[in-house]
Amino acid sequence: MYKNLLLFGFMLLAGLSLVTAVDPPEPKPDAVPPSLETPFDQVMSVVMHQRCMNCHPQDDYPRQGADSHLHRFGIERGADGHGLPALQCATCHQTENNDFSGVPGAPHWHLAPLSMGWQGMSRTEVATAMLDRSKNGNRSHEQILEHLTKDKLVLWVFEPGVNHEGVAREKPPISQEAWVEAVTQWIENGAVIPEE
């Protein structure tokens, strides 16, 4: 543990000395990397990451950035999660990332429904909600597996592109391959949510 902290501190120092040409990245809310021991740990390291969580609010407002600030310009969910009538997500977000503008994109870019609003919840609460058919769009475990491993909007978190300054967005702590593997294992082994 102390070793990890020390290493992290060193990385931080090293990182700072390199950062001269761009805005420094926002400090991460949680400086201690979460444990990645079990498939459940690995799954939740992605789900709980701001790349996922920014579009799973419990209110009507998407978040942005490493610090999960409210999406600029007062952007709202709208009736169907695709934005307001004349201010749709697709006004700015297309089906793939745009490297010129730094605007992220993926197919059917939209806000998760309120039933999948997870911001502020613990990882066990999020996992419970994910499996709850009354909240997850009535998905079975198989359908959840399919969604989490195939949906291009979900998988966008592993290719999140660059921000408005051309700086790469932070990715979740594990790779897409490791994610698919972990989700598969977790669900195929009964999608057990450990007590915490």
Q: Which ranges of 19-69 does DSSP label H, i.e. alpha helix?
A: 39-47, 50-53
Burial of 41 per CB tally in 10 Å (0-12, 13-18, 19+): middle
Contact status: 90 vs other proteins (CB under 8 A):
yes
Out of 38, 68, 94, 185, the only residue in the binding site for other proteins (CB under 8 A) is 94
Residue 74: CB minimum distance to other proteins, A: 7
First to last CA, the chain: 19
Contact status: 84 vs other proteins (CB under 8 A):
yes
Gap between the Cα atoms of 115 and 130, Å rounded: 9
Out of 5, 11, 12, 22, the only residue in the binding site for other proteins (CB under 8 A) is 22
Cα separations in angstroms, 137 against 33, 130, 132, 133, 143: 31, 9, 9, 6, 10
Residue 159: CB minimum distance to other proteins, A: 15
Pick the piece of the chain touching other proteins (CB under 8 A) from 26-34, 92-100, 177-185, 187-195: 92-100
Out of 5, 19, 31, 168, the only residue in the binding site for other proteins (CB under 8 A) is 19
Q: How many helices (H) and strands (E) does the chain have?
A: 7, 4
CA angle 137, 122, 59 (to 5 degrees): 55
Contact status: 68 vs other proteins (CB under 8 A):
no
Out of 2, 29, 37, 74, the only residue in the binding site for other proteins (CB under 8 A) is 74
Contact status: 72 vs other proteins (CB under 8 A):
yes
Pick the piece of the chain touching other proteins (CB under 8 A) from 27-35, 73-81, 172-180, 184-192: 73-81
Residue 145: in which H helix or E strand, if any? helix 141-150
Pick out residues in 136-165 that bind other proteins (CB under 8 A). Answer: 164-165
Contact status: 103 vs other proteins (CB under 8 A):
yes
